[in-house]
Amino acid sequence: MTTIGTKLQFSIILEATLVCATVQVIYPTGLLDSIQGNQLRQEINQLVDNGHPCILIDCRDVELMDSSGLSALVMAFQKVRSVGGTLGLRAINDQVRMLLELTAMDGIFQIFPKEGSPQEAMMKQ
Amino acid sequence: MMQALPVDVGLPRFKNQRSRLKRNTLLFRYFAIINLIIGLWYLQWRFNNSINFNLLWLSIPLLLAEIYSYINGSMFILGLWRPIERQIKPLDQLTPAFPAKDLPTVDVFITCYSEPVELVQATLEAALHIDYPTTKLRVYVLDDGNSPAMKAMVEQRCAEDLASPELVAAAEQIQAEQAQLQAQLDRLHQLTPEAQAAEDFLENLPESLESQDTDRPLRFLQVLQKFFTFQNGQHRSINEQLLAEEKRLKQAIARQNYALSNLPRCLYIARPKPQGRPHHAKAGNINYALFAGGTTGDFILTLDADHLPDRNIVKHVLPYFFTYNPNCGKYESNRIAIVQTPQDFYNLPKGDPFGHSAHLFYGPIQQGKDGFNAAFYTGTNAVLRREALVNTGLKYFSKAYEKDASRLDEFDLIGGISSISITEDMNTAMRLHAAGWQSIYHNEVLAKGLAPDDLSSTLKQRLRWAQGTIQVLLQENPWMKPGLTFWQQLQYFQTMYSYFSGFATFIFLLCPIVYFFTGGIPVDSYGLDFALHFTPAFILNRITFLTIAWGVPASELWRSEQYAVALFPLFIQAVWSVLTRRPIKFQVTPKQRQSGIYLNLVMPQLTIFCLTTVGIVWRGGLWLAGQPIDPWVYGLNIAWSVYNLALLWVIIQAAIWQPQRA
């Protein structure tokens, strides 16, 4: 756990040039598949276009995520990065973590354990 | 012909599919073993007894060419060791029946670049007529040419499709369900204030009323409230229940809204192609549709622009992707990622001058690969599992991203189908296999397309295949790829290795010419001894080949042998261009005939052809003029030359071929 923590801090320091005055939190629910993923991606695109490049996806109510859902997150990540923003995941369940590890995507997203964690506070700096 | 019906309702009732060894396989294996041994025996004889040390510049290359060919042939034979034939019941005849509500969604991707609109329209039309529930099938035209005419055509077709009775009925049904849900919601809203008030009243009874235990109706009401709010062993207030119900209804209505907005099932996708950035050709086109095109199908049928699908294609292929689990009474997803069906053509001219007929490949060869779970994906007429494609694609993407974070910008173009070579299909299948997914070859023609009918286009297509395959070898060598089984590695490597044959072929064509003009021969004894060793090896090789290719017309086998030799300059060019890392452009195979005579494209073959013919006459003339020669050697070289000429003739014929005017 500590190693993940340092890794996260490191990546956040790398992105310290960002100014995230506010972090928008999104709460998807249920099955995050290609259909939900598309909707989520559109939502995030809108947020970014409205000037909110820092987005946190709270996955506490996500029961299952498939690869298409994950690819939608990568597309969203692409979008936020294109305007210099950042995208984090919070409170992911074990299934989602497994999927992320299996596809080696856990190195791409910032992952926060739960609401109000110290790492998350750094995102807002 | 050789189409042993794979879709067979004659299967036992409780068996949905079965596979068995292809007929003649045991006989083939018997010949194959003898063949391998005799070949080895011939090679060792060549090595030990018959190298001509006076002509080393030719005898060494010839020996190397023979060793190359032996290895090539051996791998080919081993790859055919376990060819299997499959039988499967169509989707609606499975036992037990596949529940209609669980049917997966299917997207049809029609990839096009610069094909004429009418051609794509015909494919689109056929795709819309595929037999599958209308709300579960969507057809996408992925237009990499970004043509306004194509867009207009698809949009018009979409409007017509929306007006079709099935879709109108579907829309009405959704609207009816939506209306019903809305009515429920309204009713709920009506009830809410009163119900809340009643609950408040019952929960907080005024002291005065509570003390009067004679008021039985009130007590009953309280009990009823307790009863109705009792769920899963605990009490949830009426208020909470109402809120939950309201949420459920709203979600259901949103789902219906979504279904309604997704009713159009004929859509156009054209990706932006910014200047100065790699577009990743066909792979980029498909990936864009997967990630940025809003497509959601569980399965993807990929079709080239000219490939007209049969209406059964989905129902005959989908059952492979599910396995019935009797322990839980459900059809479950399995690990099959690709089901490939044959490529066939409806425009082949008589005699197939360009050698497009591929019953050998889409037959014994694919069946052999299937036997080792290595059936190749060939880019069209195949159904892919989205989850497999995206999951594997993500793995490779994260590797690329680790090396270079700027590749994130390209995710929508590289995240699924492999984009590292110009033959994206082969590499994609290899990656899926390495990731533990499986593939199936379904030997039933379910789509027919257009074959290029002029030499220029044919050569471009072949060059692309050759270059792409060698590219994959250099970038993702199958022997170095963890996750592949030995047999899968062999299957992939064999295909790659066979594209190096151009050099060997050149030597084989050169030897007789050298003899005719200089009298020098690379083999020490061209006499009886040579015939004794060579003939059995050659004849056995032919017999082995015929046993496994049983059912493929002899003329087609001969055609494929001809092209394997006659394309030698192209194979050499392919290896050369990849090894020297010259930039390779993805050449889309033209679908319209490029008219003309193409002798300029076959100059190397023509030169060899002429030199061989002149050589025969020249040496014959010398003989008549009284120069002593060994008639055995002369005869053998003539036989060899005639064989070579017959092989090369095909491409010269193709260069001057013109379609018959009607």
Cβ(B484)–Cβ(B492) under 8 Å? yes
Confidence category of residue B210, pLDDT binned at 50, 70, 90: low
Which residues on neighbouring strands pair with residue B140, listed in sequence order? B109, B267
| Segment 9-48 of chain A within 8 Å of chain B by CB | 33-35, 38-39
- What average pLDDT does the structure give for chain B? 90
pLDDT tens-place string over residues B472-508:
999 999 999 999 999 999 999 999 999 999 999 999 9
Cβ(B110)–Cβ(B141) under 8 Å? yes
User: Which residue of chain B comes nearest to A79, CA vs CA?
Assistant: B409
- The sign one gets for the Cα dihedral B501, B507, B640, B636 is negative
The number of C-beta contacts closer than 8 angstroms across A and B is: 64
Give the CA distances from residue B82 to residues B385, B540, B549, in Å, rounded to whole numbers and listed in that order. 25, 20, 13
DSSP state string for B557-595: HHHHHHHHHHTHHHHHHHHHHHHTT-----PPPPSS---
Cβ(B89)–Cβ(B324) under 8 Å? no
Tokens describing residue A53? 């490049």
Say what the pLDDT of residue B659 is: 79
With a CB cutoff of 8 Å and minimum separation 6, the contacts of B164 are none
Cβ(B86)–Cβ(B339) under 8 Å? no
User: Which residue of chain B comes nearest to A105, CA vs CA?
Assistant: B398
Give the long-range contacts of residues B148-157, CB within 8 A, separation 24 or more: B149/B117, B150/B112, B150/B117, B150/B120, B150/B268, B150/B270, B151/B268, B151/B270, B153/B117, B153/B120, B153/B121, B153/B124, B154/B124, B154/B266, B154/B267, B154/B268, B155/B268, B157/B121, B157/B124, B157/B125, B157/B128, B157/B266
Tokens describing residue B566? 């006659």
Residues from chain B contacting residue A74 (CB–CB below 8 Å): 291, 394, 397, 408, 411, 415
pLDDT tens-place string over residues B33-91:
999 999 999 999 999 888 889 899 999 999 999 999 999 999 999 999 999 999 999 99
Q: With CB atoms and an 8 Å threshold, state whether A78 touches B412.
A: yes
Burial class (CB in 10 A: 0-12, 13-18, 19+), A118: exposed
Average pLDDT, integer, range B150-156: 96
Is residue B197's pLDDT more than 50? Answer: yes
Which residues on neighbouring strands pair with residue B339, listed in sequence order? B383, B440
pLDDT tens-place string over residues B83-95:
999 999 999 999 8
A108 touches chain B (CB under 8 A): yes
Is residue B223's pLDDT more than 90? Answer: no
| Rounded Cα–Cα distance for residues B137 and B127 (Å) | 9
B388 min Cα distance to partner chain A (Å): 8
Tokens describing residue B609? 């052809």
| Rounded Cα–Cα distance for residues A102 and B396 (Å) | 11
Confidence category of residue B608, pLDDT binned at 50, 70, 90: very high
ipTM over 0.90: no
Q: Of A34, A68, A75, which is closest to B411 when you measure between CB atoms?
A: A75
pLDDT tens-place string over residues A26-44:
999 889 999 899 999 999 9
| Rounded Cα–Cα distance for residues B437 and B431 (Å) | 9
Nearest alpha carbon to residue B457 among B649, B647, B601, B302:
B601
Residues from chain A contacting residue B295 (CB–CB below 8 Å): 34
Confidence category of residue A2, pLDDT binned at 50, 70, 90: very low
How many beta carbons lie within 10 A of that of residue B26, not counting itself? Answer: 9
Q: Of A35, A81, A107, which is closest to B398 when you measure between CB atoms?
A: A107
SS3 B234: strand
Say what the pLDDT of residue B620 is: 94
| Rounded Cα–Cα distance for residues B43 and B509 (Å) | 19
Q: Of A67, A70, A78, which is closest to B408 when you measure between CB atoms?
A: A78
Q: What is the largest CA-CA distance in chain B?
A: 141
pLDDT tens-place string over residues B314-340:
999 999 999 999 999 999 999 999 999
With a CB cutoff of 8 Å and minimum separation 6, the contacts of B584 are B422, B467, B471, B577, B578
Element housing B438 (H / E):
strand B438-441
| Rounded Cα–Cα distance for residues B227 and B241 (Å) | 13
Q: What is the largest CA-CA distance in chain A?
A: 36
Tokens describing residue B512? 């007789």
Is residue A16's pLDDT more than 60? Answer: no
The CA radius of gyration of chain A, in Å to the nearest whole number, is 13
Q: Of B258, B394, B401, which is closest to A71 when you measure between CB atoms?
A: B394
- The sign one gets for the Cα dihedral B1, B2, B3, B5 is positive
Q: Of B387, B411, B415, which is closest to A66 when you measure between CB atoms?
A: B387
In this structure, the strands spanning B308-309 and B299-304 are unpaired
DSSP state string for B441-508: E--S--EEEPPP-SHHHHHHHHHHHHHHHHHHHHHS-GGG-TT--HHHHHHHHHHHHHTTHHHHHHHH
Sheet with A86-90, side-by-side order of all strands: A24-26, A54-58, A86-90, A110-112
Cβ(B290)–Cβ(B390) under 8 Å? yes
In terms of DSSP H, where are the helices of B262-365? 281-291, 313-317
Nearest alpha carbon to residue B81 among B428, B365, B320:
B365
Average pLDDT, integer, range B571-579: 93
Give the CA distances from residue B224 to residues B67, B189, B199, B206, B219, in Å, rounded to whole numbers and listed in that order. 91, 21, 11, 18, 9
Give the CA distances from residue B20 to residues A73, A122, B23, B148, in Å, rounded to whole numbers and listed in that order. 44, 61, 9, 50
User: Which residue of chain B comes nearest to A77, CA vs CA?
Assistant: B408
Residues from chain B contacting residue A39 (CB–CB below 8 Å): 258
Domain boundaries, chain B: 23-82+493-656, 86-147+270-453, 168-261
Say what the pLDDT of residue A6 is: 34
Domain covering B86-147+270-453 in this structure, CATH number: 3.90.550.10
Which amino acid appears at position A94 of this protein? D
Say what the pLDDT of residue B12 is: 83
Confidence category of residue B600, pLDDT binned at 50, 70, 90: confident
A122 min Cα distance to partner chain B (Å): 22
Confidence category of residue A21, pLDDT binned at 50, 70, 90: low
Is residue B592's pLDDT more than 80? Answer: no
Average pLDDT, integer, range B285-303: 95
In terms of DSSP H, where are the helices of chain A? 2-14, 34-49, 67-82, 94-102, 118-123
Average pLDDT, integer, range B304-323: 96
User: Integer distance in angstroms from the first to the last C-alpha of chain B?
Assistant: 28
Say what the pLDDT of residue B5 is: 55
pLDDT tens-place string over residues B234-246:
777 778 888 888 8
Cβ(B488)–Cβ(B376) under 8 Å? no
| Rounded Cα–Cα distance for residues B631 and B627 (Å) | 11
Residue predicted with more confidence, A118 or B71: B71
Which amino acid appears at position B63 of this protein? L
Nearest alpha carbon to residue B451 among B353, B528, B542:
B353
Average pLDDT, integer, range B650-654: 93
Say what the pLDDT of residue A103 is: 92
Residues from chain B contacting residue A15 (CB–CB below 8 Å): none
CA angle centred on B601, ends B595 and B605, rounded to 5°: 135
How many beta carbons lie within 10 A of that of residue B481, not counting itself? Answer: 15
Q: Which of B291, B413, B431 to mutate to test the interface with A (most CBs of A within 10 A)?
A: B291
A120 min Cα distance to partner chain B (Å): 23
Residues from chain A contacting residue B411 (CB–CB below 8 Å): 74-75, 78
pLDDT tens-place string over residues B432-486:
999 999 999 999 999 999 998 888 889 999 999 999 999 999 999 999 999 999 9
Say what the pLDDT of residue B254 is: 86
| Rounded Cα–Cα distance for residues B32 and B328 (Å) | 45
Average pLDDT, integer, range B286-304: 95
- Cis status, amide bond into B6, omega within 30 of 0: no
The CA radius of gyration of chain B, in Å to the nearest whole number, is 33
Is residue B209's pLDDT more than 70? Answer: no
Cβ(B321)–Cβ(B427) under 8 Å? no
> 3-state secondary structure string, B621-644?
HHHHCCCCCCHHHHHHHHHHHHHH
Which amino acid appears at position B290 of this protein? L
